[in-house]
């Protein structure tokens, strides 16, 4: 079946992706095939109505770019954007074409992929041609982010031909449809407490939804759509650093729908761009999978520069993976590339260490506790041993996407589940004393938080306890030392994945004076870094105790 020149790009794109002529990830291939199958179906409660899709595509022709080198020029949609709009607006109830079939939509793309442009157009279209008394809202994590789409829409109206712009009434923070005083288009955010409470949205544009951890703000808007004839909830976002969001739940559901693992009502539609598992992120050949605007608003040279920086600076890697390739990662500024850690696996040496340091990090009464035993063999030769403790009832509080990690750690022996629902300090104390009996421990570093009783008992037994505060001044130097040693593959370990996972959860904060602090990504409260912090504390003890070798301080003597 042939379509108008307006619609043809949508079908040409979908066919090219499914044939492999355009490089795309599995999610996009499945979405394109699903789009084509939906159009061809004759037995469904919906049908594809070209005129409905063409209507919004004609509306786009009246919109102009408002920023950058193309400012003032008509907006020309890319094929994937045409297909996206066709999928949202083309499918109609077979009995009544005034009912749009699709109600929930996802556009999951990296930065600079035209999210704001497409959202601005859809918001204006819904205000002008949607339900009577249309209520269109943009929602984001803060006021500035929520206003980006609204401000873009307002600028598009201001740049329309006067007779078209006159169909909208623009105020400082609101747009209305001329002749419909009950209509509104505004920006909302949790920050200014302007949420969807008490509203009756016809269209909700949820910008950077992957960063919104407060799920109620999304759910309130969604629940308010119940009385609408053609409700439209639209997620427009790049990946983030936490999966504990309403968006990630809906993203996972839609992925299941695409794979046939969940029932398909065809109410959902979306395009999910990323690279595939197993792809080499440094290979330019795969970048186009994640970036549908590559060569348009995103240049290969820009991504190449970002990739080179990610290779040279481990702290930039997660940012590159998340924002340029749209991959969920666990920290927004990766500390060190985990590959260096994974390449340092070694059996513990039989030789007696020159010194041994122990450090422990106690958490809340129901959370993870960590002990690190660090053996020093030379100035750049260490072996780190870890032991973790968790109340057994706390295992049920761990989110499902992390539970398997904890269960695997318990099975390996690196994680001990202690009886009850609070931390068993006696078992931790017993373990530390056992380490001191087995090794000649020079210092035991501790974070004073929640440690008073345990430290008092260790001190009473004559053990060398030492307070290690968690401030930046105290931990900056040992953090930098730890990073250098990891990059030199000088800290060996047994390769337990529980510790490697925690290393991947670390982010680094740098102040104006160049001091650093390694910490957990605050956006993901369920991620753990306790073992890594305990190791840094042990390295602090190492730095306070100068290495003494039998060479009397001379590294080499030439005779």
Tell me the three-class secondary structure of 225-263, residue by residue: CCCCCCCEEEEEECCCCCCCCHHHHHHHHHHHHHCCCCC
114: left (phi over 0), alpha (psi -120 to 50) or beta: left
- How far is it, in rounded angstroms, from Cα 276 to Cα 257? 18
Q: What is the pLDDT of residue 310?
A: 75
CA 74 from centroid of its chain's CA atoms:
34
- The whole model's pTM is what? 0.64
Joined together, the tokens standing for residue 504 give 């991947």
Residue 105 CA: distances (Å) to CA of 84, 87, 242, 269:
9, 9, 21, 5
Instruction: Give dist(CA 491, CA 487) in Å, integer.
Output: 9
Q: Which residue shows structure tokens 């050949």?
A: 285
Question: What residues pair up with 298 in beta bridges, in sequence order?
Answer: 294
- Asked if 28 contacts 290 with a C-beta cutoff of 8 angstroms, the reply is no
Please report the pLDDT score of residue 557 as a whole number. Answer: 37
Q: Is the distance from CB of 384 to CB of 372 less than 8 angstroms?
A: yes
Q: Is the dihedral of CA 308, 309, 312, 315 positive or negative?
A: negative
| CA diameter of the chain | 98
Per-residue model confidence as pLDDT tens for the chain (559 residues): 578 999 999 999 999 999 999 999 999 999 999 999 999 999 999 999 999 999 999 999 999 988 878 888 999 999 999 999 999 999 999 999 999 999 999 999 999 898 999 999 999 999 999 999 999 999 988 888 889 999 999 999 999 999 999 999 999 999 999 999 999 999 986 544 455 455 789 999 999 999 888 888 888 888 888 889 999 999 999 998 788 899 999 999 999 999 999 999 999 999 999 999 888 898 999 999 999 999 888 889 999 998 887 776 555 677 788 889 999 876 555 688 788 999 999 999 999 999 999 999 998 778 999 999 999 999 999 999 999 999 999 998 888 778 888 999 999 999 999 998 888 999 999 999 999 999 999 999 999 888 899 999 999 999 999 999 988 889 999 999 999 999 999 999 999 999 999 998 888 887 657 788 898 876 667 789 999 999 999 999 999 998 876 554 443 334 3
**Do residues 221 and 196 lie in contact, with contact meaning Cβ atoms separated by under 8 Å?**
yes
Whole-angstrom Cα distance, residue 221 to residue 297? 32
């Amino acid at each position: 079946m042939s379509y108008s020149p307006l619609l043809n790009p949508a079908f040409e794109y979908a066919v090219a992706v499914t044939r492999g002529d355009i490089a795309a990830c599995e999610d996009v291939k499945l979405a394109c095939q699903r789009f084509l199958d939906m159009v061809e179906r004759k037995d469904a409660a919906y049908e594809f109505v070209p005129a409905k899709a063409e209507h919004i595509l004609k509306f786009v022709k009246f919109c102009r770019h408002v920023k950058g080198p193309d400012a003032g020029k008509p907006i020309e949609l890319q094929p994937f954007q045409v297909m996206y709009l066709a999928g949202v607006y083309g499918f109609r109830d077979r009995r009544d074409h005034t009912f749009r079939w699709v109600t929930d939509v996802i556009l999951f793309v990296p930065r600079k992929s035209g999210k704001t442009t497409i959202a601005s157009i859809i918001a204006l279209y819904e205000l002008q041609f949607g339900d009577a008394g249309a209520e269109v809202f943009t929602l984001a994590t803060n006021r500035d982010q929520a206003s980006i789409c609204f401000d873009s829409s307002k600028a598009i109206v201001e740049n329309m031909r006067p007779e078209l712009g006159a169909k909208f009434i623009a105020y400082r923070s609101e747009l209305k449809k001329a002749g419909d005083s009950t209509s509104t288009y505004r920006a909302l955010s949790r920050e200014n407490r302007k949420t969807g409470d008490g509203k009756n949205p016809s269209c909700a544009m949820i910008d950077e939804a992957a960063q919104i951890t407060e799920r109620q703000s999304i759910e309130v808007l969604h629940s308010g759509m119940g009385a609408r004839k053609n409700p439209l909830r639209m997620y427009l976002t790049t990946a983030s650093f936490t999966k504990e969001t309403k968006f990630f739940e809906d993203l996972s559901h839609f992925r299941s729908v695409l794979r046939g693992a969940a029932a398909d009502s065809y109410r959902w539609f979306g395009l999910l761009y990323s690279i595939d598992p197993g792809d080499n992120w440094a290979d330019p050949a795969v970048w186009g999978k994640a970036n549908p605007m590559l060569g348009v608003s995103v240049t290969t040279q820009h991504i190449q520069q970002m990739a080179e920086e990610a290779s040279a600076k481990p702290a930039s890697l997660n940012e590159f993976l998340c924002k340029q390739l749209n991959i969920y990662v666990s920290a927004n500024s990766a500390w060190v590339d985990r590959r260096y850690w994974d390449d340092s696996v070694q059996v513990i040496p039989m030789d007696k260490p020159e010194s041994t340091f122990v450090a422990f990090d106690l958490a809340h009464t129901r959370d993870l506790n960590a002990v690190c035993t660090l053996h020093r063999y030379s100035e750049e030769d260490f072996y780190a041993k870890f032991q973790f403790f968790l109340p057994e009832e706390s295992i049920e509080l761990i989110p499902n996407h992390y539970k398997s990690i904890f269960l695997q750690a318990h099975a390996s022996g690196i994680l001990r589940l202690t009886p009850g629902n609070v931390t068993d300090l006696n078992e931790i104390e017993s373990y530390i004393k056992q380490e001191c009996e087995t090794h000649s421990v020079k210092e035991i570093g501790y974070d004073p938080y929640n440690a008073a009783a345990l430290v008092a008992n260790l001190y009473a037994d004559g053990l060398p306890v030492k307070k290690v505060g968690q401030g930046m001044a105290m931990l900056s130097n040992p953090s930098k030392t730890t990073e250098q040693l990891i990059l030199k593959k000088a800290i060996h370990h047994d390769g337990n994945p529980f510790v490697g996972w925690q290393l991947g959860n670390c982010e680094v904060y740098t102040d104006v004076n160049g001091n650093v602090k390694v910490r957990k990504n605050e956006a993901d409260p369920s991620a753990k870094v306790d073992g890594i912090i305990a190791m840094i504390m042990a390295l602090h003890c190492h730095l306070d105790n100068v290495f003494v070798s039998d060479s009397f301080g001379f590294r080499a003597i030439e005779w």
